[in-house]
Structure 1
Amino acid sequence: MPRQGKPQSPIHLRSARMLDVNKGELLEPGSLLVLGDRIAEVSPASVPDDAVLIDLGDMTLLPGLMDMEVNLLLGGPDHRSPLNPVQDDPAVRTLRAVTNARRTLRAGFTTVRNLGLFVQTGGLLLDVAMKKAVDLGWIDGPWVVPAGHAITPTGGHLDPTMFQAFAPHIMPLTVEEGIANGVAEVRKAVRYQIKHGARVIKVCASNGVMSHTGPAGAQQYSNEELRAIVDEAHRAGLKVAAHCMGDDAIRNAIEAGIDCIEHGSLASDETLDLMVERGTFLVATTYLTDGMDVSRAAPELRAKAADVFPRSRATISKAIAKGVKVACGTDAPAIPHGKNAKELLALVERGMTPLQAIRAATTVAADLIDVTDRGRLESGLLADVIAVPGDPLADIGATEDVRFVMKAGRVFRHDESR
């Protein structure tokens, strides 16, 4: 649970408008009374005399947004070297995450899932450490749902030595660091992440576009291994998110009980229907098919991207039309940290209404991570509030222009004039 800060004066947030996410309506004016880390009252009839007024003027108040797939430990400042993922030591990587976390929060994203370290750390769960630092108020950042190390087979899509095609025995990785083969090892890998603070399990169920070891979407774990991973996570009360692109791999992941498919690029109509039937979530990461820079990738990888990305865009449009539960996720730094709202614009381009896109980053995301204390502007919920100019229901692009960010009642951004 978020920590309570020292007693402070109530805050009265006032603006031209605020969004009721459930009803899909803009309320005029926007008015919230915040006490401590919670919204005490919506549209209060009276305000305490000692309340501090923050008048945002011609702005729209929204719930803090959520990104369900980021890796704050990668990308960000000074990542020009393609070897950065294997050059940073754990200390440098953690400091890199501090910058990325702040940038993400200032962009209006107050909650993220950090989906899977795939670097050598000596078994340290750096995203769990980052979550603790954020919760304690040592660093500025969003609430973090950490996965620890991604569970992946040797040579799998999230085996970091695969990306650079390293020679044998360069940068050995342990089961604790997620490299696991066979039922016994995957169980051990999952148990290790849970023991040391993971709150979701990330598994690499299929190949990816940037994989050197086979075609995009080829299944990488056996069905038996997938079931073992799900069994371990579910018995501990954790959900499983699977990097998964190919149709057969997606279907087998769903049948194994995996809760959330990341990407889902090549899913067939029948598999999308199965997702609707089972209530499986999809984190589409669809903007990366528009904005991911593959210019430095090997020619064969660029060729895969040219083939898969257009098909992926069409798949996500079908998923939206069929009613798959699509939650917002960017796969940052596949797109830069702080540009997370680009995903909302892409979801609208694929067929969502602006309201549906905002729900993907609020109420649907909250459902995915099993929280009831955020995602809406309601009394008793966390005071995670952002403000954007204009009407985001008419122009989703407004979410790219966040000018005010409050998280748990504390102001992290307030652009008073432009």
Structure 2
Amino acid sequence: MTFFKHLIVLTSVLKKISLAVFFFTFFHGLGQTLLVPDRVFDGETMHSGWVVAINGNKITYAGIPEGFKGSKGVTKISLPGMTLMPGIIEGHSHLLLHPYNETSWNDQVLKESPAERAIRGVVHARNSLMAGITTMRDLGAEGAGYTDVYLKKTIDEGIIPGPRLLVAGPAIVATGAYGPKGFHDGVSVPLGAETASGIDEVIKTVRRQLGNGASFIKVYADYRWTPGAPSQPTFLPQELEAMVATAASAGSYVVAHASTPEGMRRAIMAGVETIEHGDGGTLEIFELMKENNVALCPTLAAGDAIEQYGGWDKEKESEPERIKAKKVSFNLALKSGVTMVFGGDVGVFPHGENYREMELMVSYGMQPLEVLKTATSVNAKVFHLNNLGQIRQGYLADLIAVKGDPAKDILAIKNIKMVMKDGQMLKQEN
């Protein structure tokens, strides 16, 4: 078959992909690629008139056009009206969950098989990638065992498209403190996480999860002991300390679901790296987090979505108490100067709508440029991603282009026109 017949067949197979993406991929190996947007957000600062050069999967230049010393065969891609920025790093997601107004969390855990949830996860991973999420921290398989580990494996091997993944595996809960609940004591139900109690058992559980492929350990430092009850601390301080020490000795770390002041305090003092949610955090607790270099992932979008599922019309009705309280705690966190992690608990709401968290962070009082930093360079630092989150020479070419200027209007982040991961163009629109 001739070259042109091959080209016709391949183009037909890839008909859902734009010709610009196809030809970029086909000719990418011939030399450097020069991206020419209106502006570049490098992960820390916005620059007008910059260009960015790519060779293979690495950034080779970022700066003013006059400083670029390109060789022959440079492919130039113009991005008029767009902001080029590092790929977004999602800090709190659940690829194996889908919105609770479609199916409740209990029914997802009890009635959807790991196979079905894995198939959904493939779709969720692609939707996230096309929305500009090139790296994602997944905070637990929620009853699907190590399915998130295998999603990561298939993405890494190029079998399915998706973001770079950091995965928690099953997550760890104190015996008796998690669900699904509401059944009599003679009924055995699958749980949304792995239970453990006592120093020896929590050490063994951390080692097992890391050995089975978890990138890090997620623990529940507080939770509801019975349905509808307020959250209370779960693990003893000594248990949390043992899990942190065990993970550290294996070259990993621990993050904690925590929403009560005491649950947060225990997790902070034990040495976790991030607190997830933090709804009941006080100024004293957030200052303690800052002092101990513990970051906060506030997950504003999850609570916003759940209130709407419960009937709140946010366009017409006043804010529920839960939203008012979350705004107060978020502003206390801002006042404390604690490091913020971008992560919305996506899965509670649709994958691919990760931008909701950025919109709410701005709405609740954070500056748009600070939100962009959090979703790129800050998350990269917190998650130990040394070659991502910034547009700098030698960094991996995970890049996105946004129509407009999201530093002036955060809503622009919804309009993703280009996605590049590891130097491969996956989406390009005018």
TM-score normalised by L of structure 2:
0.85
What's 1:302 paired with? none
Q: Which runs of 4+ in 1 moved over 6 A?
A: none
Please identify, of 360-369 and 306-315, the stretch whose mean Cα deviation from structure 2 is larger: 306-315
1:220 aligns with 2:234: yes
- Once the two structures are overlaid, the 10-residue window that deviates more, 35-44 or 397-406, is 35-44
Partner of 1:133: 154
Structure 1 residue 8 corresponds to structure 2 residue 29 = yes
1:168 is matched with 185
Gap regions ≥5 residues in structure 2:
1-25, 312-318
Aligned-partner Cα distance in 1 for 2:144–2:302: 26
Do residues 40 (structure 1) and 40 (structure 2) align? no
Residue 20 of structure 1 aligns with which residue?
Answer: 42
DSSP 3-state at the match of 1:141: coil
* Distance of aligned partners of 1:8 and 1:211 in 2 relative to their CA distance in 1, 3 Å threshold: farther
Partner of 1:75: 98
Q: Does 1:84 align with 2:108?
A: yes
Q: What do residues 173-227 of structure 1 show as CA deviations (whole Å, max 9, x unaligned)?
A: 599x61112222211211111101111110011126x9726303x1111112111
Pairing 1:15-414 to 2, within 5 Å after superposition? 15-22=37-44, 24-28=45-49, 30-43=50-63, 45-75=68-98, 79-80=102-103, 83-121=107-145, 125-156=146-177, 159-162=178-181, 165-168=182-185, 170-173=187-190, 178-207=194-223, 212=227, 214-216=229-231, 218-293=232-307, 295=309, 306-414=320-428
Kindly indicate whether the alpha-carbon contact (under 8 Å) linking 1:118 and 1:160 is maintained by their aligned counterparts in 2: no
Alpha-carbon distance, 1:128 to partner = 1.3
Among all aligned residue pairs of Structure 1 and Structure 2, give the percentage whose two residues are the same amino acid: 32
Q: Which runs of 5+ in 1 are unaligned?
A: 298-304
**Contact 1:13/1:31, CA 8 A, preserved across alignment:** yes
CA deviation map 1:357-403 (0-9, x unaligned): 01111111011111110111111101011111111111111111111
TM superposition score normalised by structure 1 = 0.88
Question: Alpha carbon RMSD of aligned pairs, Å?
Answer: 2.5
Give SS of 1:335's match: coil
The separation in 1 between residues aligned to 2:55 and 2:272, in whole angstroms, is 39
The 8 Å contact of residues 167 and 214 in structure 2, kept in 1 or not, is answered as yes
**Residues 77 and 220 (structure 1 numbering): CA distance in 2 closer, same or farther, change over 3 Å?**
closer
Q: Deviations over 1:70-126 (max 9, x none)?
A: 0101116994465122222222111111000011111111111111122054xxx11
62-71 or 111-120, which moves further after superposition? 111-120
Report the Cα distance in structure 2 between the residues aligned to 1:261 and 1:77, rounded to whole angstroms.
23
Preserved contact between residue 76 and residue 100 of structure 1 (Cα < 8 Å)? no
Are the counterparts in 2 of residues 77 and 96 from structure 1 also a CA contact under 8 Å?
no
Between Structure 1 and Structure 2, how many residues are aligned? 393
Cα distance change, pair 169–306 in 1 and its aligned pair in 2 (3 A): farther
* Higher gyration radius (CA): 2
